[in-house]
Amino acid sequence: MSGNTGSYIFSCLFVLLAHGGMLLNVFINGNYSSISQVIILAGAVLILDAAYFVAMPFFKQTTYTVDFLLILILNMSVIFQSCFGGVSLDVKHYITSIVALAACRGGYLVCRNHKWLGQQRKFFYIGIGVLMLAILLLTGSRSMWISLGSITIQPSEFIKPLFVLACATSITEQQKKHKILFFYVVYENLALFGLTAAICLLQWWCRDLGSLPTFVGIYACGFLLRICYPKAKFSKKKLIGAGAALLAAAVAGMRFAPAYVQDRLHVDIWSDKNGDGYQQSQALIAIAKGGWFGKGPGYGGLHKVFAHENDIVFATISEEWGLLYALMMIFAILILVAVPLVNPPRSYFHGTMAAGVCAAFTVQMALNIFGSCNMIPFTGVTIPFISSGGSSMLISGFMAGMLVACQSPTMRAPAVHNHERQQPQQPVFQQQRRPYP
């Protein structure tokens, strides 16, 4: 962080200021019975902020923007979640936030050396295979949850980062072509396609239709970057072909979807306000009640509705904090995924990885927000970092760590395990010098 100390401290201050502004709003407008609740919340948030700021420099990164955005969003979501239906610290969400921060560190450490990571590719496939088996065998009766005592985990969430990693590729890999019949193909692209098909089938089978578009989104990214890579720019024919195929698949999917999906696609939420359309209609009414500036933290009425803290969290936040604030929260997450635009990754592997993470996050947000607002069928997907839920937070944190890794990569050959070189390594001039012609 040489040379960035000023900017680091400046960023710390403004993150604290943003949280302070929110806490002030809670303090003055909030719905709380005793002031101690607000103090506990403020204490928890500010202590986590401070601890993170102190711990951060120990990871010698080139850039810290993603980390600041992450702590900004996570503590924002802690405040949001703590205010639903009355101010009191949501301990579970607080803990999962800390877990997410730790996962982010883990993600960074795992992903920062892409050359080493590229060699571990078989483990991604193995990991995904194991998780898919777990879904097949351990989740009871076609559901997407595995319950271990009091904890339930969602294995399909864990597939996401592995799938992003499997989709990431380097140029060198893409040049290893093999001839099959008349076509030059890269084996790995075939493997990836097979993997995607398998995952999609599995998701379809266990009716986790919310995750399906996420995987398709990630794969679309990988596909575009892999297949379209060798052609000049984006080959228009291939893009149109892929688009048409996707459209055909979507249409076919809608035609032959199981009955319960059909029901979801055609439900008119307003004529079935108290049945299937209950969550969505209540969510929309809540957004309408909140208006631009909201009813005040803790004064919302949506906390009585099932899944208010994850599936329709956008509406819950809109009602209490106002649509403006909810939009800005989404904006903050968008900045997080847009950081690679400002500070470009230094390798194709990291670039494709960043694109995969971006696809995963935006698709999930789109499914959640547009689904709860009745623009597209409603599926139970989470907004990264904002919705509560352990698996989701952990994985979102890990994927944020992947973004951090893109920003602060190490360029070392995998076999070499010595410390990171701080000094510029001059090319070796004296050894094996070839004669000039």
Partner 1 sequence: MDQMNLILCAVAAATLDVCALVLIMSAYHERSTGDRRWNRMTSFMELADYNAAYPLGCDEILIGRHASADIRLPDLSVSRYHAILTVSDGIWTITDMGSKSGTFINGVPVKQAQLRENDIIKLGNRQLIFRRRRDANVR
Partner 2 sequence: MKSIKRCQRIISLFIILFIGGMIALVVKIQREASFYMINSEETSLGMVYDRNGDVLFDGTGKGEYPDGHFIDVGNLIGDDKGQMENTLVANNIQKLNNYSFSTGLVSEDGKAAIYTTLDHAANRAVYDAFGYAEGCAVAYNYKTGEILVCTSLPSFDFTKGYDDIANFKSGTLISKNMYGTVPGSTQKVSTVIAALEIMGADKLYSKRYNCTGSYLNKSGDRIDCHNAYGHGTLDIQLAIENSCNPFFAQLIEDDDLPLGKLKKVYETLGYAVNGEDEEYIDINGIKCEKASTTLNDPYEFKTQWGCMGQGDTLVSPVQLMIWQSAIANETGKVTMPYLIDHVTNVSGKVKERAKTQTSDRLFSADTASSVKEMLLTNGQNNYSWSIGGYKVGVKSGTAQVFEGEQENSLLVGFVDDPSLPVAFCVLIEDKNNTYLTTENIVKVMLDSLNNDLNG
Locate 116 and state its tokens: 């080493």
Q: Which residues from 239-278 bind partner 2, rule CB under 8 A?
A: 270, 273
Q: Which of 368, 348, 358, 342 is nearest to 402 (CA)?
A: 358
DSSP state of 428: P
Nearer to partner 1, 60 or 92 (CB): 60
| N-to-C CA span, the chain | 45
> What gap in Å lies between CA 392 and CA 218, rounded to an integer?
16
Residue 342: CB minimum distance to partner 1, A: 5
| Residue 194 in the binding site for partner 1 (CB under 8 A) | no
| Residue 330 in the binding site for partner 2 (CB under 8 A) | yes
> In this chain, which stretch among 252-260, 290-298, 311-319, 382-390 interacts with partner 1, using CB under 8 A?
290-298
| Residue 416 in the binding site for partner 1 (CB under 8 A) | yes
Q: Which of 158, 134, 67, 56 is nearest to 395 (CA)?
A: 158
> What gap in Å lies between CA 74 and CA 68, rounded to an integer?
10
DSSP bridge pairs for 178: 185
Nearer to partner 2, 374 or 410 (CB): 374
On the 0-12 / 13-18 / 19+ scale of CB atoms within 10 A, 3 is: exposed
Per the listing, tokens 């400002």 go with 342
32's torsion region: left (phi>0), alpha (psi -120 to 50) or beta? Answer: beta
Locate 361 and state its tokens: 């996050």
Q: Which residues from 348-367 bind partner 2, rule CB under 8 A?
A: 348, 351-352, 354-355, 358-359, 362-363, 365-366
Which of partner 2, partner 1, none is residue 337 near (CB under 5 to 8 Å by kind)? Answer: partner 2
Residue 4: CB minimum distance to partner 2, A: 22
Interaction mask 204-223, partner 2, x per CB under 8 A:
-------------x---x--
Out of 204, 229, 278, 299, the only residue in the binding site for partner 2 (CB under 8 A) is 229
Residue 10: CB minimum distance to partner 2, A: 26
The DSSP line for 167-211 is H---HHHHT--EEETTEEE-HHHHHHHHHHHHHHHHHHHTT-TTH
Q: Which residues from 34-63 bind partner 1, rule CB under 8 A?
A: 62-63
> What gap in Å lies between CA 311 and CA 246, rounded to an integer?
26
Q: Which residues from 109-128 bind partner 1, rule CB under 8 A?
A: 115
Which positions touch partner 2 (CB under 8 A)?
A: 171, 217, 221, 224-225, 229, 233-234, 270, 273, 281, 284-285, 287-289, 291-292, 323, 327, 330, 334, 337-338, 340-341, 344-346, 348, 351-352, 354-355, 358-359, 362-363, 365-366, 369-370, 373, 375
